[in-house]
């Protein structure tokens, strides 16, 4: 039996997906300064940005005490509209403007995944991006204001969620819906296979929740 995965993210949505998939994990927050990292990297595409941030989170946690001989997963999501990257809006007015621009249109949600295997010397890193196109309904100004007032879109990439209130505005998803939520389980399965680990090896019926 492998030790629990380390999830380098404090996202409740990602934690929930791992729980439902029966993959035990510990949570360790990376504290990576995402804005500073993106600024230092220079121009990156939305897809590249998602993968670079995921890698930074995983590698930061992999260097911390307690990560030895473990598998560390970093994830980051970036929403793309008209070729522009959109992360978390943080402020209500920013969220209102972004959601208004998304109304009645289709954007792409990119989720980067980076898995560090610290059981090897040197540590081995593998990464992949899962993307999905999201078509939004036409939203009235009142609906947008009501949604932003809940606070839900302020701390999520693209200013919407698929597993919360924002789902009422999503008409169609083309691609892996879990990637839109924040973690593609099929992508994780392939990354685990690349380092010789089967996700099903954890299915012993005893480890079903976050141990952190």
Q: 117 near 91, Cβ under 8 Å?
A: no
Q: Tell me which of 33, 76, 133, 146 is the catalytic residue.
A: 76
- Say whether 163 is catalytic: no
End-to-end CA distance of the chain: 19
List the Cα angle 178/27/121 in 5-degree steps.
100
> Taking Cα atoms as reference points, which of 170, 163, 159 lies closest to residue 133?
170
d(CA 183, CA 58) in angstroms, rounded, equals 14
CA 114 to chain CA centroid, nearest Å: 10
CA dihedral 80, 85, 89, 92 (to 10 degrees): -60
- Catalytically active residues are 76
């Amino acid at each position: 039996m492998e030790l629990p995965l380390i999830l380098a993210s404090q996202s409740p949505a990602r934690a929930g997906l791992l729980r439902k998939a029966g993959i035990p994990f510990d949570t360790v927050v990376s504290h990576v300064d995402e804005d500073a990292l993106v600024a230092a990297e220079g121009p990156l595409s939305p897809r590249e940005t998602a993968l670079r941030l995921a890698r930074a989170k995983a590698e930061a946690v992999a260097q911390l005490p307690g990560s030895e001989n473990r598998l560390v997963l970093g994830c980051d999501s970036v929403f793309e509209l008209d070729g522009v990257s959109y992360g978390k809006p943080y402020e209500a007015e920013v969220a209102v403007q972004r959601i208004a621009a998304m109304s009645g249109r289709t954007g792409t949600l990119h989720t980067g995944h980076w898995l560090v295997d610290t059981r090897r010397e040197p540590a081995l890193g593998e990464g992949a991006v899962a993307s999905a196109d999201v078509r939004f309904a036409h939203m009235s100004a009142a609906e947008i204001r009501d949604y932003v007032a809940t606070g839900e879109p302020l701390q999520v990439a693209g200013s919407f969620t698929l597993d919360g209130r924002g789902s009422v505005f999503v008409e169609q998803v083309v691609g892996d819906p879990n990637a839109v939520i924040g973690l593609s389980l099929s992508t994780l399965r392939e990354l685990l296979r690349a380092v010789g680990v089967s996700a099903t090896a954890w299915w012993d019926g005893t480890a079903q929740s976050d141990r952190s």
